[in-house]
Amino acid sequence: MMKTVLTFIMAGGKGERLFPLTKDRTKQAVPFGGIYRIVDFTLSNCINSGLRRIYLLTQYKSASLQRHIRLGWNFLPSELAQFIELLPAQQRVGDSWYLGTADAIYQNLYTLEMDHPDDVLILAGDHIYKMNYYSMIDFHREQDADLTVGVVEVEKEKSEHLGVVDVDESGIKVVGFQEKPRVPKTTPFNPDKIYASMGIYVFKHPVIEEELHEDARRHNSTRDFGKDIIPQMLKKGLKVVAYNFIDENRKEAKYWRDIGTIDAYYEANMDLIQVDPVFNLYDKDWPIRTFQEQFPPAKTVFSGEQITGRVGLVLDSIVSGGCIVSGGKVQRSILSPNVRINSYSSVHDSILMEGVNVGRYAKIKKAIIDKDVIIPQGTVIGYDADQDKKRFFVSDSGIVVVAKGTEIK
């Protein structure tokens, strides 16, 4: 009999490090790459991997995410026991909301009792990557592991923002876990690299139930898989292994980005506009699905007034449907649907979300402009750090973020 898998996607985080993009929405609902939401990449990986029994665990500011799932991801046939369902925090086992990643699953253990899967796949819904999850599930079963943790090699300098998985000399057996360490344990093969946890776990069904019940009885637990469940399992001698997310042909880590900060979010978007991007949205063998409203095609207007500078020009950029570049210049930028760039304005190295309107003679550089913001005529953003900090949020690397609902005088 074919073994079954039940999938849980964590989609309830506050996303505090992505503020102000998360001022009105959960992190997984933040727009990305023009037409997508961050959660689309994890969901597309599931569908492309053949996983069709999926729960999204939601909590904070989930209205935008719920609408997106209802309009764009409600297509699996229930008569075949396939589904993508939202599981909001319901206080089913007490008077608290989700206290951590492990607690989110613990509060929904009733779904495991209903579905009786052989294995449980747990995913973070806030990373950008392409992955066939069944490769990891097959590895988990071949190893006869109680838990398999997805890991990816990254520079050790990034350890303070990540969970670090410590393995033995084989590179497979997990012997420890560090949460955002300043001095991390490096991989056994490269002293400059760490194994970062991808927030992906495959559990045997009976094991996860037992471990979550045991963790719930501990008063000093933070209810987290990395901080609590993995150390608890290692202490008991259970078999925990690491699945290395590596390109076997190129012998290097595959593309994976944790976009939990404004700077990381900005850099991952900019990756998409490279001439030959490592993360390719145009891969027909691994399509990224989303929900899009019906917008007309993008267009540029005014091309014969080079002397006066009134030229509708787009270079090295992603331009979504409904956009009109009317006599302005766009370079190395991402325009979400229904953006308007008016005459004599310029947009460089920036991300403009749906419905943004850039007035005449405005100048924007290294900025993220959230939905429906109107940029008045002659506004300058990204050219004077001191002035920008007085009006907007500015990241550590100088990315200016204009929040949704901002009225610029």
pLDDT at residue number 1: 67
Would you place residue 113 in the very low, low, confident or very high pLDDT band (cuts 50, 70, 90)? confident
176-179: long-range contacts, CB 8 A cutoff, minimum separation 24? 176/231, 176/234, 177/226, 177/227, 177/230, 177/231, 177/234, 179/224, 179/226, 179/227
Q: Averaged over 197-220, what is the pLDDT?
A: 94
Phi, psi of 394 (to 5 degrees): -125, 125
Percentage of the residues of the chain whose pLDDT score is greater than 90: 80
Contact in structure between 315 and 330 (CB atoms under 8 Å): yes
Locate the domains of the chain by residue range.
5-271, 299-402
Contact in structure between 159 and 112 (CB atoms under 8 Å): no
End-to-end CA distance of the chain: 66
187 has a pLDDT exceeding 60: yes
386 has a pLDDT exceeding 90: yes
Cβ neighbours of 144 (radius 10 Å): 9
pLDDT at residue number 91: 61
- Within 8 A by CB and 6+ apart from 209, the residues are 109, 112
Q: For residues 322 and 338, what is the distance between their CA atoms, to the nearest angstrom? A: 4
Under CATH, to which class is 299-402 assigned? Answer: mainly beta
Q: For residues 398 and 405, what is the distance between their CA atoms, to the nearest angstrom? A: 21
pLDDT at residue number 323: 98
Q: For residues 314 and 324, what is the distance between their CA atoms, to the nearest angstrom? A: 11
Inter-CA distances, 385 with 76, 244, 366, Å: 48, 41, 11
Preceding omega of 20 cis (within 30 degrees of 0) = yes
Would you place residue 13 in the very low, low, confident or very high pLDDT band (cuts 50, 70, 90)? confident
Reference 193, options 215, 220, 221, 162; nearest CA is: 162
Q: Averaged over 330-342, what is the pLDDT?
A: 98
Alpha helices in 143-249 (DSSP H): 205-216, 230-235
pLDDT in tens, 303-312: 765 556 688 9
Hunting for tokens 């935008």 — which residue is that? Answer: 64
CATH code: domain 5-271 is: 3.90.550.10
Q: Under DSSP, is residue 353 helix (H, G, I), strand (E, B) or coil? A: coil
Average pLDDT over the chain reads 92
pLDDT in tens, 93-109: 555 667 788 999 999 99
Q: For residues 122 and 229, what is the distance between their CA atoms, to the nearest angstrom? A: 13
Same topology for domains 5-271 and 299-402, yes or no? no
Q: For residues 397 and 94, what is the distance between their CA atoms, to the nearest angstrom? A: 42
Q: What is the CA radius of gyration of the chain?
A: 23
Q: Which two tokens stand for residue 390?
A: 């007085």
pLDDT in tens, 210-262: 999 999 998 888 889 989 999 999 999 999 999 999 876 666 789 999 998 99
Q: For residues 132 and 125, what is the distance between their CA atoms, to the nearest angstrom? A: 15
Strand order in the sheet with 367-369: 318-319, 334-335, 351-352, 367-369, 400-402, 393-394
Query: How would you classify the pairing of strands 193-204 and 119-124?
Result: antiparallel
Cβ neighbours of 159 (radius 10 Å): 21
Tell the burial category of 158 from Cβ atoms under 10 Å away from its Cβ (0-12, 13-18, 19+).
middle
Contact in structure between 171 and 86 (CB atoms under 8 Å): no
Q: Which two tokens stand for residue 109?
A: 């253990």
Q: For residues 176 and 163, what is the distance between their CA atoms, to the nearest angstrom? A: 11
pLDDT in tens, 22-67: 999 999 999 999 999 999 999 999 999 999 999 999 988 889 999 9
Q: For residues 282 and 270, what is the distance between their CA atoms, to the nearest angstrom? A: 15
Q: For residues 153 and 346, what is the distance between their CA atoms, to the nearest angstrom? A: 38
